[in-house]
Amino acid sequence: VCTQQELLPCKSLPETLLFQLLGLSIATLSTVTHYGLRFTLISNVSLDSNSYRIIHHRAFYIGICLSMTLILAALLSSAAMVRESQCLTAMGFFCFALAFCGLIPAACWRYTHSTEVEDSMMDVYDFVYEEVRRNTSSFRRHELTAIHEAFLCCGKHSPFGDTTNVEYKTCPPGQVHDEGQDCLQEIQDFLRKHMDFVFSLLGIAIGFTVYGMILTSFLCFSIHFSSNLYRKGKYILR
C-alpha cells in the first residue's frame, strides 16, 4: 500500500522493471548472437579478410554496452524518484540520451547494410566449400561438415558441374543431396529472421528510450518546482 508521498515511486516501479527487462533482453540477444553455435562456427572459419568476424565482435560489445546503459538509466531514475534528487534524475536522463544515441546508429546501420552480414556469411561458406571441392583437405572438410550439421543443410546448387562428391562426404548421415536444403539459401533465411528480430528489438528500445527521456525530464521539473513550493512562505529573520 502506497501513501500519498510514496505514490510516485510506486507508479515508477513498473516502468523501472520494464527498462531493466528491455536491457536484459538486449544483453541476452547479444550473448546468443556472439556465442551461438552457428554464429561462432562461421566466425571461427572466416578469414581475416572477411568482414564477418569484425561485425560479429562489434555487435556483441555494442549490444552489451547498450543493455548496461539502459539498466543503469532505469536504476538511476528509480533512485531519483525515491530520493527526489535532481542530480540522479539528470544522470538518468543522460544515460537514456546516451542509449538513444547508440540505438539510432545501430538501427540505421541495420537498414542501410541489410545484406552485408548475409553476404559475408555466405562468402565464408563459399570459401570453405570451394576449398573442399578443389583439394579435399581434411581440415576444411571437417569445417564444412560442421557447417552442414549446424545449419541442417547439404551443399549448394553450383554452376560448376557435378559436385555431389563433396555433399556425400560432408552432409549429415542419411540426408540425400537431392532432398537436402541448399546451404546458401538456409544461411540467408536464418540470418534474415534473426536480423528482423534484432531490428524489431531495436525499434522497441528506441521507443522506450524516448519515453524514458520524457519521463526523467518531467520528473526533474517536478522535483524542481516541488522544492520551490516547500520553501514558499518561509522567512529568515535578520
Residue 128 maps to a domain: no
Confidence of residue 201 (pLDDT cuts 50, 70, 90): very high
Residue ranges making up the domain that contains 13:
1-114+181-228
Mean pLDDT of all residues in 37-66:
90
Average pLDDT score over residue span 215-225: 77
237 falls within a domain: no
Within-domain flag for 123: no
* Reported pTM: 0.80
- Per-residue confidence (pLDDT) for residue 122, from 0 to 100: 92
Q: How many domains does the chain have?
A: 1
Q: What is the 3-state secondary structure (H, E, C) of the chain?
A: CCCCCCHHHHHHHHHHHHHHHHHHHHHHHHHHHHHCHHHHHHHHHCCCCCCHHHHHHHHHHHHHHHHHHHHHHHHHHHHHHHHCCHHHHHHHHHHHHHHHHHHHHHHHHHHHCCCHHHHHHHHHHHHHHHHHHHHCCHHHHHHHHHHHHHHCCCCCCCCCCCCHHHHHHHCCCCCCHHHCCCHHHHHHHHHHHHHHHHHHHHHHHHHHHHHHHHHHHHHHHHHHHHHHHHHCCCCCCC
User: Does residue 195 fall inside a structural domain?
Assistant: yes
Residue 159 lies inside a defined structural domain of this protein: no
The reply to whether 233 falls in a domain is no
More confident site: 36 or 227: 36
- pLDDT at 224 (0 to 100): 64
Percent of the chain with pLDDT over 70: 79
Domain assignment present for residue 24? The answer is yes
Quote the mean pLDDT of the chain: 81
Q: Is residue 165 part of a domain?
A: no
